[in-house]
Amino acid sequence: MKQIYFVIAFLIYQQSLAQSPDSLLLKDYQPVSIYSIPKTQIEQPMWPVIDIHSHPYAKSEKEINQWVNTMDQMGIDKTIVLTMTTGSAFDSLVQAYSKYPKRFELWCGIDFTGYNEKDWSQKAIAELERCHAIGAKGIGELGDKGQGLLYSKPTPAPGLHVHDPRLQPVLKRCGELGMPVNIHVAEPKWMYEPMNKHNDGLMNGFKWRIDTTQTSLDHQGLIKSLEQAVANNPQTTFIACHFANCGFDLSILSSLLDSYPNLYADISARFGETASIPRYMLQFYQKHQDRLLFGTDMGMDPEMYQLIFRILESKDEHFYSPYYANYHWPLHGFGLPKNVLKKLYYENAQKLLSL
């Protein structure tokens, strides 16, 4: 009997340790807001929405139908599907989403097969033109976190950055075809910083950390590569997705937007990074209201859309979401004005896409 009591006491002791600040793991910390303050539930956005940044999450006809139903429910008029593919893979996606030509717009990737060969640019342009002919309206998402353009399928391009001379004829042709280029450069700054107690984004940064010993460009170099590509191709429209991953210092992106009229930025998947600084973000959205594009990049669940609408439209304070449990701070609403929301939700995208 004494042994049973000992085991029970030990388990209670262990449980108490698990909840103490000295033993609770940071990854297990899931606070619940204690504040009794207004909570806004937004069922639909203030204006119809064009989602400029999504991916082919729906893999079957049934899932595509479900996605359209969710879009109807959430007020999403059109979704841009960034496939990152070329060749037969892109053709298959065009066929899969063809049932809803007014609800989905597919963008292709760039075929980097043989990118070190002398005539690669011409071959890449030929495939670009083929994809455009069967429905591709833009390019995306190209992705470079420091090692090169690794996102595109079927062939990644290690060591090839967006400002590389080999890529410039392709980007120029994108402009001639009226195909915007969605480009992901870098990652949030925390992923490049030392993983120690001073890293503000440690909980998320550690998981997505960048091995800087394996990169040829650092965070600053990646932003510079984007700027050079934009400057080299003034007739091509570029979309720097995720605020160009400059959430830590949006004056960098602000300067780029001021300097290059062919550059836009999408807001996708960086709500956790920006909803902690709501007053600053309100000023940023107001200043660049003509150059920012609504995007999600977080799946197709109704709750995801509602969370984003709450951040953009409400003035709610200090709330948490399971979508951003990988950070340790609460979220806050921006309370964007109606005229800014109208541009962000659809007017800027309409102009860019010539809809």
Region 289-304: mean pLDDT is 97
What is the model's pTM?
0.92
Lowest mean pLDDT among 113-117, 140-144, 200-204, 232-236: 200-204
Bridge partners of 142? 183
Say if residues 143 and 156 touch (Cβ distance below 8 Å).
no
For the cut 80, the answer to whether the pLDDT of residue 8 exceeds it is no
- 205 against 268, higher pLDDT: 268
Q: What is the DSSP string of 256-313?
A: HHHH-TTEEEE-TT-HHHHTT-HHHHHHHHHHTTTTEE----S-S-HHHHHHHHHHHH
What three-state secondary structure class fits 116?
A: coil
Q: Tokens 């595509």 identify what position?
A: 64
Give pLDDT, residue 152: 84
Statement to judge: residues 80 and 19 lie in one domain: no
Per 3-state DSSP, the chain is made up of helix, strand and coil in percentages (nearest 5) of 45, 10, 45
Q: Are 272 and 327 in contact (CB under 8 A)?
A: yes
Are 11 and 111 members of one domain?
A: no
Q: What is the Cα–Cα distance from 140 to 192, expressed in whole angstroms?
A: 24
Residues 83 and 220 in one domain: yes
Whole-Å CA distances, 284 to 220, 270, 313, 314: 21, 14, 15, 16
304 and 340 together in one domain: yes
Exposure string for 50-78, b = 16+ CB within 10 A, e = fewer: bbbbbbbebeeeeebeebbebbeebbbbb
**Structural domain boundaries, residue 126:** 36-353
Residue 55 has pLDDT above 70, yes or no: yes
Mean of pLDDT values over 305-312: 97
Q: Taking Cα atoms as reference points, which of 175, 284, 173, 152 lies closest to residue 238?
A: 175
Helix or strand or coil: residue 252?
A: helix
**Coil, strand or helix at 54:** strand
Mean pLDDT value across residues 167-193: 96
User: What is the reported pLDDT for 355?
Assistant: 45
- State whether 26 and 156 are in the same domain: no
Which residues are registered as beta bridge partners of 144? 149, 185
Distance CA 95, CA 75 (A): 25
| Rounded Cα gap, residues 330 and 325, in angstroms | 9
Helix (H), strand (E) at residue 4: helix 2-18
User: pLDDT grade, residue 14 (50/70/90)?
Assistant: low
Tell me, yes or no, whether 7 and 155 share the same domain.
no
- Tell me, what's the pLDDT at 73? 97
Task: Note whether 281 and 341 are same-domain residues.
Answer: yes
Q: Do residues 257 and 276 share a domain?
A: yes
pLDDT in tens, 205-260: 888 898 888 889 999 999 999 999 999 999 999 999 999 999 999 999 999 999 99
| 135-138: long-range pairs with CB below 8 Å, 24+ | 135/94, 135/106, 136/90, 136/106, 136/107, 136/108, 136/179, 137/80, 137/105, 137/106, 137/107, 137/179, 137/353, 138/80, 138/105, 138/107, 138/179, 138/180, 138/181, 138/182, 138/353
How far apart are the C-alpha atoms of 71 and 79, rounded to whole Å?
9
Do 67 and 160 lie in one domain? The reply is: yes
Number of compact structural domains in the chain:
2
Pair (65, 171) in one structural domain: yes
pLDDT at 6: 53
* CATH number of domain containing 51: 3.20.20.140
Q: Is the Cβ–Cβ distance between 308 and 254 less than 8 Å?
A: no
Same domain membership, residue 171 and residue 25: no
Nearest-angstrom CA–CA distance, 22 and 141: 43
Mean pLDDT of all residues in the chain? 92
Which DSSP state fits 206?
A: T
pLDDT grade, residue 4 (50/70/90)?
A: low
Angular region, 341: left φ>0, alpha ψ -120 to 50, beta rest: alpha
Q: Are strands 148-149 and 157-158 parallel, antiparallel or unpaired?
A: antiparallel
pLDDT at 1 over 60: no
Same domain, 11 and 128: no
